[in-house]
């Protein structure tokens, strides 16, 4: 712990100190084991989804095209923070360079923002599949799917670029201790020694554009999906329709639920609030990407069939 105890002499121009879970040293080794296991599962699960979507012809559909993008996002999303977190826990070092912090914040925010938009695109895909099945391949043809994916990536990285530039323009007056295990906008705003209301207004405006509007589109899609499913006469048809959408809806609830809850701990005062905020960040930064492949695999007959076919070969 020597390096961390000497961080008061660490000059802020050289970088930052990621406090992480160092305030709970007895929990660190437990976190090291759990996070390592979850990260390996995240890598294997999402890689498996990407490989299946590429190799199995029956999965060459719009739904699995977007799912492969989601898995790639989750792979990069976790890799932008978790390896460094594990290294810090193991070595008891907490320092991150200025450039490293900028890069980490930009990449993590860009991928998270892209996922918000991509989930709304996936909801639209399910809406067309259930509500307009005869026109599905006309509406969701390959060029349009590529266009939707490009819009999601462009929106996510554009939002991240604006927020990253505005965040790092703020003066910090020597403050360099980040109350988290990775660099993120709310934690960086707490370091500023000037009024951050402009940044906060911009951040909440970005939340509306990147999270609230896509969430509204998802809600609109599922309202229409439920109406269409209720009108289906056979119970088997209704069950198939719900199974088609159930995996995506569960992923949406987990991702948005944990991300929105984290805003309640933007400026934690007590140690318990700090711990809850960090655990929430860990949930949406690692647990959700790990569970996504499991949810789609366990609830989806096509994916399970593809796994069996690949293993059979």
Average pLDDT by consecutive 10-residue portion of the chain (313 residues)? 40 72 76 91 92 86 92 93 88 85 94 94 92 91 95 96 92 83 85 85 87 91 89 77 79 80 56 70 83 78 71 63
Dist. CA 156–CA 76, nearest whole Å: 14
CATH number of the domain enclosing 294: 1.20.1070.10
Q: Is residue 6 part of a domain?
A: no
Q: Is residue 7 part of a domain?
A: no
Contacts for 241 with CB less than 8 Å, ≥ 6 apart: 130, 225, 228, 229, 232
Start-to-end C-alpha separation, the chain: 51
Q: Is residue 3 part of a domain?
A: no
What's the chain look like in SS3? CHHHHCHHHCCHHHEEEECCCCCCHHHHHHHHHHHHHHHHHHHHHHHHHHHHHHHCHHHCCHHHHHHHHHHHHHHHHHHCCHHHHHHHHHHCCCEEEHHHHHHHHHHHHHHHHHHHHHHHHHHHHHHHHHHCHHHHHHHCCHHHHHHHHHHHHHHHHHHHHHHHHHHHCCCCCCCCEECCCCCCHHHHHCCCCCCCHHHHHHHHHHHHHHHHHHHHHHHHHHHHHHHHHHCCCCHHHHHHHHHHHHHHHHHHHHHHHHHHHHHHHCCCCCHHHHHHHHHHHHHHHHHHHHHHHHHHHHCCHHHHHHHHHHHHC
The pLDDT score that the predictor gives to residue 76 is 94
Cross-strand pairs, 96? 16
The pLDDT score that the predictor gives to residue 219 is 92
Q: Is residue 147 part of a domain?
A: yes
The pLDDT score that the predictor gives to residue 11 is 43
Q: Is residue 4 part of a domain?
A: no
Structure tokens at 182: 């990775």
Phi then psi for 17, rounded to 5 degrees?
A: -115, 120
- Residue owning tokens 């609030």: 273
How many domains is the chain built from? 1
The pLDDT score that the predictor gives to residue 257 is 78
Instruction: Indicate the length of the chain as a whole number.
Output: 313
Give me the domain span that covers residue 75.
12-312
Q: Is residue 2 part of a domain?
A: no
Contact 33, 98 (CB under 8 A): no
Rounded to two decimals, the pTM is 0.86
Structure tokens at 67: 């799912």
Q: Is residue 36 part of a domain?
A: yes
Q: Is residue 223 part of a domain?
A: yes
The pLDDT score that the predictor gives to residue 2 is 38
Contacts for 113 with CB less than 8 Å, ≥ 6 apart: 155, 156, 157, 159, 160, 206, 210
């Amino acid at each position: 712990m020597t390096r961390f105890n000497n961080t008061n002499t660490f000059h802020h121009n050289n970088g930052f100190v990621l406090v992480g879970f160092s305030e709970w040293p007895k929990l660190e080794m437990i976190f090291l084991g759990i996070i390592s296991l979850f990260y390996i599962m995240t890598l294997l699960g999402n890689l498996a989804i990407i490989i299946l979507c590429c190799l199995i012809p029956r999965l060459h559909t719009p739904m699995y095209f977007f799912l492969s993008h989601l898995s790639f996002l989750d792979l990069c999303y976790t890799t932008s923070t978790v390896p460094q977190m594990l290294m810090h826990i193991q070595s008891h070092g907490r320092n991150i360079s200025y450039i490293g912090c900028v890069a980490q914040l930009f990449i993590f925010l860009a991928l998270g923002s892209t996922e918000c938009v991509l989930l709304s695109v996936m909801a639209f895909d399910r809406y067309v599949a259930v509500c307009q099945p005869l026109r599905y391949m006309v509406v969701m043809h390959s060029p349009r799917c590529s266009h939707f994916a490009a819009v999601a990536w462009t929106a996510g990285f554009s939002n991240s670029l604006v927020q990253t530039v505005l965040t790092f323009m703020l003066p910090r007056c020597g403050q360099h201790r980040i109350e988290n295990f990775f660099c993120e906008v709310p934690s960086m705003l707490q370091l500023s020694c000037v009024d951050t209301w402009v940044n906060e207004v911009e951040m909440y405006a970005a939340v509306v554009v990147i999270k609230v509007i896509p969430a509204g589109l998802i809600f609109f899609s599922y309202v229409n999906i439920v109406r269409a499913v209720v009108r289906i006469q056979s119970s088997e048809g209704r069950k198939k329709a719900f199974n088609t959408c159930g995996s995506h809806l569960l992923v949406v609830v987990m991702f948005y639920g944990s991300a929105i809850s984290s805003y309640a701990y933007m400026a934690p005062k007590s140690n318990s609030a700090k711990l809850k905020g960090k655990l929430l960040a860990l949930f949406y930064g690692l647990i959700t990407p790990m569970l996504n492949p499991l949810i789609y695999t366990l609830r989806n007959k096509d994916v399970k069939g593809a796994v069996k076919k690949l293993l059979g070969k």
